[in-house]
Amino acid sequence: MLYDVLIAYIITFNLADICITLWLIHNQFAIEINPLMLQALEYGYVSFIFIKLILVLGGCYILRKNQDKVIAKCSILAAFVVYFILMIYFCINIVLIT
């Protein structure tokens, strides 16, 4: 149950990450530093969104199917923590630039 909730948050954070990242890049407040996503961005916003969704949703699907294993539980928790910190970082920086 807890891990299902965390996966739901990961997916929600991913959607927010996509929107905020594209807004920041479009308004020239940021650049993409992830080489894979930078390559996707060079093909356009649709490619960026599609690849980001496929990677995160695919990862969440695999983790959800294996959530009885310790490594999957640790990975779900780690992904949640990383995305949570990223959301805090985004909030702080958006306040600073506006």
Convert the pLDDT of each residue in 64-83 to its tens digit: 999 999 999 999 999 999 99
Query: What integer is the mean pLDDT of 9-14?
Result: 97
83 close to 9: Cβ distance less than 8 angstroms:
yes
Instruction: Provide the domain limits for residue 90.
Output: 2-97
Query: What integer is the mean pLDDT of 24-40?
Result: 93
Distance CA 9, CA 5 (A): 6
pTM, rounded to two decimals: 0.89
For residue 96, the model assigns a pLDDT of: 85
* Tokens describing residue 38: 């930078």
Domain count, the chain: 1
